[in-house]
Protein backbone atom coordinates (compact mmCIF):
# COMPACT_ATOMS: atom_id res chain seq x y z
CA UNK A 1 0.00 0.00 0.00
CA UNK A 2 1.44 3.38 -0.99
CA UNK A 3 1.57 5.78 1.96
CA UNK A 4 1.44 8.82 -0.37
CA UNK A 5 -1.87 7.63 -1.81
CA UNK A 6 -3.27 6.90 1.64
CA UNK A 7 -2.75 10.50 2.70
CA UNK A 8 -4.70 11.99 -0.21
CA UNK A 9 -7.92 13.71 0.93
CA UNK A 10 -10.06 11.66 -1.48
CA UNK A 11 -8.64 8.36 -0.19
CA UNK A 12 -9.10 9.41 3.43
CA UNK A 13 -12.74 10.23 2.75
CA UNK A 14 -13.20 6.92 0.92
CA UNK A 15 -11.67 5.00 3.83
CA UNK A 16 -14.09 6.70 6.21
CA UNK A 17 -17.05 6.15 3.87
CA UNK A 18 -16.36 2.42 3.46
CA UNK A 19 -15.91 1.92 7.18
CA UNK A 20 -18.77 4.21 8.20
CA UNK A 21 -16.46 6.31 10.37
CA UNK A 22 -16.60 9.98 11.28
CA UNK A 23 -13.40 12.01 11.23
CA UNK A 24 -13.35 11.66 15.01
CA UNK A 25 -13.71 7.86 14.80
CA UNK A 26 -10.86 7.57 12.28
CA UNK A 27 -8.70 9.88 14.37
CA UNK A 28 -9.27 7.76 17.47
CA UNK A 29 -8.50 4.58 15.53
CA UNK A 30 -5.10 5.81 14.37
CA UNK A 31 -4.12 7.83 17.44
CA UNK A 32 -4.42 11.41 16.20
CA UNK A 33 -6.87 14.21 16.96
CA UNK A 34 -10.09 14.94 15.12
CA UNK A 35 -8.64 18.32 14.08
CA UNK A 36 -5.68 16.55 12.50
CA UNK A 37 -7.87 14.34 10.29
CA UNK A 38 -9.99 17.38 9.41
CA UNK A 39 -6.89 19.33 8.32
CA UNK A 40 -5.70 16.38 6.21
CA UNK A 41 -9.04 16.08 4.43
CA UNK A 42 -9.19 19.84 3.81
CA UNK A 43 -5.58 19.89 2.57
CA UNK A 44 -4.48 22.26 5.31
CA UNK A 45 -1.84 19.81 6.52
CA UNK A 46 -0.21 16.55 5.49
CA UNK A 47 0.23 13.49 7.69
CA UNK A 48 3.62 13.00 9.31
CA UNK A 49 5.62 9.89 8.52
CA UNK A 50 4.49 8.37 11.82
CA UNK A 51 0.82 9.16 11.14
CA UNK A 52 1.08 7.71 7.63
CA UNK A 53 2.47 4.52 9.14
CA UNK A 54 -0.38 4.35 11.66
CA UNK A 55 -2.93 4.92 8.89
CA UNK A 56 -1.33 2.27 6.70
CA UNK A 57 -1.36 -0.24 9.56
CA UNK A 58 -5.01 0.52 10.28
CA UNK A 59 -5.95 0.12 6.60
CA UNK A 60 -4.08 -3.18 6.32
CA UNK A 61 -5.90 -4.46 9.40
CA UNK A 62 -9.31 -3.38 8.04
CA UNK A 63 -8.52 -4.82 4.61
CA UNK A 64 -7.46 -8.10 6.21
CA UNK A 65 -10.78 -8.23 8.04
CA UNK A 66 -12.64 -7.66 4.76
CA UNK A 67 -14.05 -4.33 5.91
CA UNK A 68 -12.09 -2.11 3.53
CA UNK A 69 -11.51 -2.34 -0.21
CA UNK A 70 -9.02 0.21 -1.47
CA UNK A 71 -8.25 0.50 -5.17
CA UNK A 72 -4.88 -1.01 -6.04
CA UNK A 73 -2.65 0.78 -8.55
CA UNK A 74 -3.72 3.47 -10.98
CA UNK A 75 -5.59 6.60 -10.07
CA UNK A 76 -9.01 6.74 -8.61
| Interval 10-48: pLDDT, tens | 999 999 999 999 999 999 999 999 999 999 999 999 999
Confidence of residue 64 (pLDDT cuts 50, 70, 90): very high
At residue 71, the pLDDT reads 64
Q: Is residue 76 part of a domain?
A: no
At residue 6, the pLDDT reads 72
**pLDDT at residue 62 above 70?**
yes
> Residue 39 sits in a domain of what CATH number?
1.10.260.40
**pLDDT at residue 8 above 70?**
yes
Domain range for 34: 3-64
Q: Is residue 18 part of a domain?
A: yes
Query: What's the number of domains the chain is made of?
Result: 1
Q: Is residue 72 part of a domain?
A: no
Q: Is 7 exposed, middle or buried (0-12, 13-18, 19+ CB in 10 A)?
A: middle
Q: Is residue 7 part of a domain?
A: yes
Amino acid sequence: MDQRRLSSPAILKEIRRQLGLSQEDLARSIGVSYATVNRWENELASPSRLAKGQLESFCKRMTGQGKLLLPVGGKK
